[in-house]
Structure 1
């Protein structure tokens, strides 16, 4: 009879995910994975496979969480336009202990991984494509809702606008990693929102 696992699988995967997120795939060693997981090599590989399999498990878990959060944010807003504008809020670190106005430097794990591994690992590239297509579909549904609510032009293509919003949001995340200060990042986010999601009342008043 196999011995029951004496560790929390989700906790281990989260720790491993954070290691890959902070250091990247290539720079993460087996020793790093053993250290953050608290597991020996035998236990780690017996439970999750080799380094690549462990990375893919962590990456898939990350994207599932991102889509669950995105679905919740888009659905919970009283008006769809508010949810879409929230996508373009600057990625400012509001965690306890962070400096006031600190900008998040970590970026998006999926984007980081696609940049690092996309040319060499077709599975990572395919997962990135599926991830962004699903994100586009969720945002596109929200755009269509905003159109039904009269807050966006009815003739606009929801998918095209969704792709533009996703590209803008990912661009803001990337710019936050380059050292752009919080004030400039906020101004950029507001400029993008004004162009992509203009206030229909103001647009019609001119």
Structure 2
């Protein structure tokens, strides 16, 4: 019979996610993972698997947490225009709790299409975030707040790509005002009415 764990599995996984986020997959050593988890090698691998399996678990954790936060944010307002303003504000407000940029975008840039399992996680994150944005766009088109010149799926994909691109600019140190200008353009170009 195995001994019960003497650590919080999810809390440690979160710390390991931050390590991969900061250093990248290839830049993260076993020593980094041991230091972040405060576990011995055997305990670390026993709980989470090898480095690759552990990395996939951190991607899944990030996807679940991020999409949950995004869903809550986008459904906070009945007005789609106001929901998009909240989305914009969230992208402009850096978190002190997380490294710069977006973990999944960083991973996409690091891996490209070289690893099928990682690629699957990246695609799932991108598709699910597009789906959440599409729900808002459909709502806005029904409310006559958002243009019907393009299908909701195309508008959502455009907004999601704007978000991913901006995360790269943030990581590269772009000024917040320029990021805001790009977001204003992306949102205002699809609105029929002002969110105010």
> Where do 1:15-164 residues align within 5 Å?
15-89=15-89, 90-93=91-94, 95=96, 106-154=100-148, 156-164=150-158
Distance in structure 2 (CA, Å) of the matches to 1:33 and 1:94: 23
Question: Tell me, which stretches of 5 or more residues in structure 2 are unaligned?
Answer: none
Which whole-Å deviations, capped at 9, do the CAs of 1:184-205 have from their partners, x for residues lacking one?
222232233222x33437xxxx
Residue matched to 2:171:
177
Residue matched to 1:5:
5
Which whole-Å deviations, capped at 9, do the CAs of 1:49-101 have from their partners, x for residues lacking one?
101111100110100111111111111113112112333345342649xxxxx
| Count of residues in correspondence between the two structures | 194
Residue matched to 1:200:
193
Which whole-Å deviations, capped at 9, do the CAs of 1:6-42 have from their partners, x for residues lacking one?
0000111000000000010001000000001000000
Task: Check 1:125–1:116 CA distance in 2 against 1; reply closer, same or farther (3 A cut).
Answer: same
Distance in structure 1 (CA, Å) of the matches to 2:62 and 2:108: 14
The alpha-carbon deviation at position 149 of structure 1 amounts to 1.3
Question: Tell me, which stretches of 5 or more residues in structure 1 are unaligned?
Answer: 97-103, 202-206
Contact 2:73 / 2:87 at 8 angstroms: preserved in 1?
A: no
User: Which one has the largest radius of gyration?
Assistant: 1
Q: CA RMSD in A?
A: 2.1
TM-score of the pair, normalised by structure 2 = 0.90
The alpha-carbon deviation at position 168 of structure 1 amounts to 1.0
The alpha-carbon deviation at position 105 of structure 1 amounts to 6.2
Task: Check 1:123–1:136 CA distance in 2 against 1; reply closer, same or farther (3 A cut).
Answer: same
SS at match of 2:92: coil
Distance in structure 2 (CA, Å) of the matches to 1:194 and 1:49: 46
